Copies of this chain bind each other. A is one copy, B any other.
Amino acid sequence: KHSKQEVRSNNDEVIKIEVNIDDQTAEQIGFAVDKLFENGALDVFCTPIQMKKNRPGVLMTVLLKTTNFNKIAYLVFKHTNTAGFRYQTMKREVMKREFKSVEFEHDVVRAKEYKYKDITRRKLEYEDCASVAEKRGWSLYSTYKKLQNLF
C-alpha cells in the first residue's frame, strides 16, 4: 500500500505527537506503527532513546493532519502502553507537486515533479520502481538508474 505522506496536499500545519515507550516490546511497537499508518497517520517513525535505569527506550513520533487528532490519539492509547503523550502543532513548508508517469517495457511508473522557486526535482514512485525491480530480479539501485533517464 501507498504511503500517505507522499500524497498529502499542501496543508500548512501538521500535528506532531511524541510518545516515550519503555514498557512494550519491539514486536508490539512494530504492530502499533502498522496500525497508525493504516489509519491515516502521515508518518510514524521511531528514535532510539536512553531512558532512566539503563532502559533502551523508544520515542515514537506520529505526524498527522490536525483534523485527524481524535482518531489518532485514540489509536495511540490503544496500541501503545503509554498513559499520556505530548503533542504540538508545527508549520509545514512544501514544494508544489505535479503528477506524471513514464512507461518502461509496458509497466507504468508513476512519478512526481516538485517545484520550489527555481528548484525542480523529479521523483519516481518507490512502489512502482520496487515492482519493476522485483519482476525482473534487479536491484533497486540499478532500476532507479535505468528509469531516471526516461523521465
Residues of A within 8 A of B (CB): 3, 6, 8, 14, 16, 18, 20-34, 37, 43-59, 61, 63, 73-74, 77-79, 81, 83-88, 90-95, 97, 112, 114, 116-117, 119, 121, 123, 126, 130, 133, 139-141, 144-145, 148-149
| Known pairs A18-B90, A21-B26, A31-B133 / 16 extra A-B pairs, C-beta < 8 Å | A8-B84, A23-B126, A25-B25, A27-B53, A46-B54, A47-B59, A50-B56, A52-B54, A74-B116, A77-B95, A83-B97, A86-B92, A86-B93, A87-B92, A87-B93, A88-B88
Q: Which of B51, B123, B141 contacts A28 (CB 8 A)?
A: B141
Q: How far is the CB of A51 from chain B (nearest CB, A)?
A: 5
Each complex incorporates copies of this chain amounting to: 6
Q: Which of B25, B50, B81 contacts A46 (CB 8 A)?
A: B50
